[in-house]
Amino acid sequence: MKYTIRKYDGDDCYSWAVFLKSDLPKGSRGIVFYGEATPSYCGLSRDQARYYKGIMEKKHAGRACRG
């Protein structure tokens, strides 16, 4: 599972959020607004968002989609 950090519903220093990449609209760039996608974590600084992204990727690293 791939995660990404984006600005979420604002433009201050605590507007960063962690999203599952597949939840974002195709070709999405810039700020993600409420209703476009559901964040895993939100209300973070950029450093905090990077930290939580790393945790989520490590947590799901061993799990691969089988189908």
Q: Specify the pTM.
A: 0.82
Is residue 65 assigned to a domain? no
DSSP 25: P
Is residue 66 assigned to a domain? no
Is residue 15 assigned to a domain? yes
CB 18 within 8 A of CB 37: no
| Domain carrying residue 17 | 3-59
pLDDT digits 0-9 by tens, 26-36:
887 889 999 99
Work out how many domains the chain is built from and give that number. Answer: 1
Is residue 44 assigned to a domain? yes
Residue 5 CB contacts under 8 Å (≥ 6 apart), including other chains: 16, 17, 18, 19, 46, 49, 50, 53
> Residue 67 — very low, low, confident or very high, per pLDDT cuts 50/70/90?
very low
pLDDT digits 0-9 by tens, 31-61:
999 999 999 999 999 999 999 999 999 988 7
